[in-house]
Structures are given as C-alpha cells and as structure tokens.
Amino acid sequence: MLYYLIIALKVFCLYHIYKNHKPYYWFFVIFLIPVAGALFYIITQVLTTRDVNTFQNEITSIVNPTKKIKDLEKKIEFTDTYANRMDLADSYFEIKAYQNAISNYEITLKDKSQNALYAHQQLVLCYFQMNDFDKVISHVKQIKDKPEFKGSKHQFCYGLALREKGDLEAAERELKAIDRPYSNYSERLELAKFYIENNRKEEGKSLLEDISNEAQHMTKPNRRLFRQTINEVEQILKTL
C-alpha cells in the first residue's frame, strides 16, 4: 500500500508540474528524491495555492478514478445541472470511457443557453478515438468557424478523418495548418506519413528531418515527453 501511495504522490507532482508550467528543475527533484522531493513540492507549490480538500480529491482521483465518477453520478442524481453533467463527461473522458463520455456530452448540448463549443470539441476527440469519422466531421462543422479551431488538436483529428474518408486534398489542407516549428510533433509526424503514403517522399522526408533537428535542441524533460514520436521519426528516416 505504501508503494502505491508513493507512486500516486509522484504521479500527482509530475502532473501538477506539467499542468501548471512549473520550472523544469522540479522534474529532477521528484525523480532524484521521490518521497522527500514530492512532499517538499506539495508543501511549497501545492498547499500554498490550493486548499487541503482539493489536494486530497486530486490524489483520490489518481488512485481510484472510478470513485470520482461514482461521486459525480450521485451528485447528478441529487441535482442534474449543466456543470455537474460536464464534470461527469470529463471524468469518463479522462479514463477513456469514451462512449459514456459521449452520452453525457450529448446531454449537455440540450441546454441551449450554454456555449456548446467545448462539448463539440470533446465529442470530436471522443469519436476520433472510436474511429467514427463521420461523427468527427459532423461535430467539426459546428466549430470549424471558431477561432479556437485553427491549429488545434480538433483540426488535426478533422484532417485525419478526411483522410480516412478519402478526401485527400481537404485532409492535407487541415493537416498543414498544424505544421508549426518546435511544436505539434506527433501531429507533424502524421503529416509526414501522409506525404510519404501519397508518393511525396521528399516532402515527407524534409518534414521528418525538421522534427529530428528540432529534437536535438529539446530540454531533457521534453525529450522524455516526446520520446516515442522522436524514435518513430528516426526509424522512418532510416528507411527513406
């Protein structure tokens, strides 16, 4: 039990560092001195900005994510509000229970007084994970004209959905929109694959080389974060 508690503390700290854009040296503190480092981080960086109850809830959701969902379901039984329903949908999304997440996001769309942008964005991500590309395209139509769509993960999913539906010209247009240096590495890898698969080897190779070169200048935490993508880039380059 102690072992799992230590792991939970470590995971929470790493997540908190990443989510709140804390200085990178905290990653090294947590990795090098896991227990003492985690406790010191929590005391100095978490409890000074959040109350103890919030901290306990986040730890509980990491150790037992289904408890959070059960609590939210009971909350909805008592008061079925837009906010509670959205929290439940997000919780299902976090544990990759996409069908349950979809059901709850769809319910929130019935409340016409609310801004539906976020629900449609989440539905795009859910349906993409379920390979329902028609539904991806359908929900993108509701948000495509919003400024938040440009260069987003949702636009990337839209591009891949169009590729799956055989509309290659439109797919390329959407995928190229997320080709931004020093960011979107996994998305740009998919764009490179798209070029290679469509007999545009030199364009694909050039993009892969750009990613490879950018990787040389990454910080160590970022190299760890994108290790799988970087390794795949290097493997493909070896075959070209």
- Reported as a single tens digit per residue, the pLDDT across 116-142 is 999 999 999 999 999 999 999 999 999
| pLDDT at position 114 | 92
b/e 6-32 (16+ beta carbons within 10 angstroms → b):
eebbbebbbebbeeeeeeeebbebbee
In a domain, 203, yes or no: yes
- Name the stretches of the chain with pLDDT < 70: 1-2, 4, 47-65
Considering 63, 83, 114, which residue would you say is the last residue of a domain? 63
Phi/psi of residue 16, each to 5°? Answer: -65, -40
Measure the CA–CA gap between 178 and 212, rounded to whole angstroms: 17
Helical residues (DSSP H) of 165-200, grouped into ranges: 168-176, 185-197
In a domain, 124, yes or no: no
In a domain, 159, yes or no: no
In a domain, 189, yes or no: yes
In a domain, 214, yes or no: yes
Phi/psi of residue 237, each to 5°? Answer: -60, -35
In a domain, 104, yes or no: no
Considering 37, 63, 89, which residue would you say is the last residue of a domain? 63
Considering 31, 63, 95, which residue would you say is the last residue of a domain? 63
| pLDDT at position 222 | 84
| pLDDT at position 50 | 46
In a domain, 15, yes or no: yes
In a domain, 31, yes or no: yes
| pLDDT at position 155 | 95
Measure the CA–CA gap between 116 and 138, rounded to whole angstroms: 14
- The whole-model pTM stands at 0.69
The number of distinct structural domains making up the chain is 2
Domain range spanning residue 197?
A: 184-240
pLDDT for 12-46, tens place per residue?
Answer: 888 888 877 778 777 777 777 877 877 777 777 77
